[in-house]
């Protein structure tokens, strides 16, 4: 293994915070909640040291609206929380999407519904990929499965947020947030003072007035606004990302994201040891979703099973991808249960019958 750059042993949460620093975050606003509090803890120290703004707000709602304000000024702004806290932020996220502002939102999920508990869960897939708040909008959703990806995808999230002027959400869970793994920092922090110069609010002196808003009352204006948003969401497909693990010769492909995506890899290796050709398809962008690639794989005759730490959410997207070609098996690992590779052996084996 190459040892050019020093590796750091950090939690997934810390990797996200470090990724935010190296990705150029200037403003962070949040309210603490387990299991993601390592993020504000790290940033309260390091972001302030670098001259950034750190505010522990009075609530989740206040913090997402602070993100909106900072984003309107063209700043790289971020918030983080866990499931119930993210629910509270949904109104603000909808306004950020409607106003076409860039923002990075981290959700290190807990089990629900309601206050639930701090055990792992992937129960927020629907909320994340279908907008989450009111109105017909989407957030880009990135799902890391290693601490290195927590770092890499957070950096990417800021670039995507500005590329599309849209909120980008990172969806992780307690397994990923709390586990430690080595990461390599590859990006130097740099702040581009001209970012968003063509739309950000800086005071109109010497130029035409700019308005950033999500209110469209004139006849036809909202229709045009939604059409523009729709086209933007479609265009995000140029940034689709996924990982294929031993799928080439696989008879059965397990589709799983995030922490479950990596746990299933161990199951696949075990089953390969028993002579069963199993592969893993791991979507990294959950919105946009890699429908077309899954369809391609299905056309080559492969069978599918979706495995999630919820009662069946991403499986709907996989079924949409497979529509008219084949069906998809499903295994639900209940939110609150910590999955092990052994849990998935029988459900995958059953697909061979």
Partner 1 sequence: MYQDVIIAGFGGQGVMLIGNILAYAAMGQGLNVTYMPVYGVEMRGGTANCTVVISDEEIGSPIIFHPRSIIVMNQPSLNKFQPRLVTGGLLIVNSSIVDTSSVPKEKYKTLLIPVNNIADKLGNIKMANMVALGAWLGATKAVDIHHIEDAMTKMLSSLDHKLIELNKKALQEGFNIGAKKSEI
Residues of this chain that bind partner 1 (CB under 8 A)? 1, 3, 7, 9, 35, 118-119, 174-175, 178-182, 262-269, 338-343
Q: Which is nearer to partner 1, 327 or 342 (CB)?
A: 342
Q: How far is the CB of 247 from partner 1 (least distance, A)?
A: 15
Neighbouring residues of 154: CB distance < 8 A, sequence distance ≥ 6: 15, 16, 19, 20, 23, 104, 106, 170
The answer to whether the CB of 78 falls within 8 A of the CB of 104 is: yes
- How many Cβ atoms sit within 10 Å of the Cβ of residue 223? 10
Alpha-carbon distance values, 335 to 117, 167, 247, 309, 315 (Å): 10, 26, 27, 5, 15
In eight-state DSSP terms, residue 353 is -
Instruction: For residue 23, give both structure tokens.
Output: 């990705």
Q: How far is the CB of 151 from partner 1 (least distance, A)?
A: 15
Distance of CA 279 to the CA centre of its chain: 23
Q: Which is nearer to partner 1, 165 or 262 (CB)?
A: 262
Q: Which is nearer to partner 1, 153 or 280 (CB)?
A: 280
Q: How far is the CB of 1 from partner 1 (least distance, A)?
A: 5
User: What is the three-class DSSP state of 181?
Assistant: strand
- Phi, psi for residue 119 in degrees, rounded to 5: -70, 160
Q: How far is the CB of 280 from partner 1 (least distance, A)?
A: 9
Q: How far is the CB of 135 from partner 1 (least distance, A)?
A: 36
Q: Which is nearer to partner 1, 166 or 259 (CB)?
A: 259
User: What is the three-class DSSP state of 185?
Assistant: coil
User: What is the three-class DSSP state of 205?
Assistant: coil
Q: Which is nearer to partner 1, 83 or 94 (CB)?
A: 83
Element (H, E) at 268: helix 258-273
Q: Which is nearer to partner 1, 26 or 152 (CB)?
A: 152
């Amino acid at each position: 293994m190459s040892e050019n750059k020093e590796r750091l042993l950090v939690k997934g949460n810390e990797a996200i915070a470090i990724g935010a620093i190296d990705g150029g975050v200037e403003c962070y606003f949040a309210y603490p909640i387990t299991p993601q509090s390592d993020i504000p803890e790290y940033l309260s120290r390091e972001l302030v040291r670098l001259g950034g703004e750190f505010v522990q707000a009075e609530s989740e709602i206040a913090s997402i609206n602070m993100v909106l304000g900072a984003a309107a000024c063209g700043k790289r702004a971020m918030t983080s929380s866990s499931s119930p806290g993210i629910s509270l932020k949904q109104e603000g996220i909808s306004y950020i999407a409607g106003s076409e502002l860039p923002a990075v939102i981290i959700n290190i999920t807990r089990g629900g519904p309601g206050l639930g508990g701090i055990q792992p869960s992937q129960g927020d897939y629907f909320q994340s990929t279908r907008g989450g708040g009111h109105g017909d909008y989407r957030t880009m959703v990135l799902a890391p499965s290693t601490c290195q990806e927590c770092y890499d995808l957070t950096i990417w999230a800021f670039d995507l947020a500005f590329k599309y002027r849209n909120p980008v959400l990172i969806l992780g869970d307690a397994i990923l947030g709390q586990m430690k793994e080595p990461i390599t920092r590859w990006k130097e922090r740099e702040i581009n003072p001209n970012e968003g110069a063509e739309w950000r609010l800086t005071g109109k002196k010497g130029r035409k007035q700019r308005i950033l808003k999500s209110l469209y009352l004139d006849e036809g204006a909202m229709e045009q606004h939604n059409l523009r948003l729709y086209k933007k969401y479609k265009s995000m497909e140029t940034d689709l990302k996924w990982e294929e693990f031993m799928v080439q010769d696989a008879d059965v492909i397990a589709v799983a994201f995030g922490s479950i995506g990596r746990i299933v890899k161990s199951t696949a290796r075990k089953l390969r040891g028993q002579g069963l050709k199993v592969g893993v398809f791991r979507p990294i962008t959950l919105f946009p979703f890699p429908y077309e690639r899954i369809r391609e794989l299905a056309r080559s005759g492969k069978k599918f099973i979706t495995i999630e730490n919820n009662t069946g959410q991403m499986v709907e997207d996989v079924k949409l991808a497979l529509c008219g070609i084949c069906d998809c098996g499903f295994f639900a690992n209940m939110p609150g249960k910590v999955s092990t590779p052994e849990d998935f052996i029988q459900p995958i084996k059953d697909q061979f019958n």
